[in-house]
Amino acid sequence: MIYKIHHLHCGTMCPVCGPLFGQNHFLATVVCHCLLLETDQGLVLVDTGLGIQDYLHTKQRLGSFVARFGRIEHHLELSAIAQIQQLGFSPKDVKHILISHLDFDHAGGISDFPQATVHVLSNEYNATQNLNSLKNKARYKPQQFQQHKYWNFLEPTRGENWFNLHRVQGFSIFQDDILMIPLAGHTTGHCGIAIRQAEGWLFFCGDAYYSHLQLNPQSSLKALNQLERLFAVDNRQRIDNLKKIQILAQTENHIEIICAHDPVELARYKTL
């Protein structure tokens, strides 16, 4: 059972060229939007954003390229662990972490919760063990999570339908209140997380899209599309899953759809 959902702002990057991220400014504002769920299974963190060590030792943890061009705003109070403590909880209260994918700006806080079980698709974790390609080397920083002890590797096996998508088979710890929904394309094992609310669902799509404008299939964001093509390991799958998300946005009013990096979407919840 889910008692409450908190929307956390777990990092901000300000890379050059806003149009690449669907924004009109010279510097983009790329937030790390994460969720904290109060449940009968303890606290559940959906993605972790940047962790304490990413802020304290940026170059060592993330590499010189990210440190130079990511333009990370260094605010320790934006780490998930700091915000969870601000809410009156202990880091030990976080029992589960659900990861959309293991890019550095989603997995950095794993090391701040050593007692939590991390749930991730097995093919996503396997991809982090192969850093021969420049794309994987840029996105995955295994030092963020390689010492973590508790994992639940889920197979990307097609389970029951969830609207026009499908759920991960064998993920039943939260009954039908929290589902992991494969959204491959951006990474090999990219996954969305669907959370049941009192009325309808909240669907966290990770990096399946970057801007709320993309939920409208008529939108034209050529620079952003090229950036997403560059980041994707399978652009055909990325586009296919984006189209399915757009259909959900157009036809299912009881599903709130959010992604990980849009400041407009985050502000919608932080001002409630």
Domain positions in the chain are 2-270
- For residue 34, the tally of other CB atoms under 10 A from its CB is 26
Task: Quote the CA–CA distance of 30 and 23 in Å, as a whole number.
Answer: 10
Average pLDDT, the chain: 95
Percentage of the chain with pLDDT > 90?
91
Say which residue the tokens 């990307």 belong to: 156
Residue 272 has pLDDT above 50, yes or no: no
The one-character DSSP state at 146 is T
pLDDT tens sequence across 23-43: 998 999 999 999 999 999 999
pLDDT tens sequence across 169-201: 999 999 999 999 999 999 999 999 999 999 999
Cβ–Cβ < 8 Å for 101, 124: yes
pLDDT tens sequence across 213-229: 999 999 889 999 999 99
pLDDT tens sequence across 135-165: 999 999 999 999 999 999 999 888 899 999 9
Cβ–Cβ < 8 Å for 48, 112: yes
Cβ–Cβ < 8 Å for 200, 257: no
Q: So what's the architecture of 2-270 in CATH?
A: 4-Layer Sandwich (3.60)
What are the start-end ranges of the E strands in 14-115?
Answer: 30-39, 42-46, 94-98
Question: What pLDDT, on a 0 to 100 scale, did the predictor assign at position 271?
Answer: 58
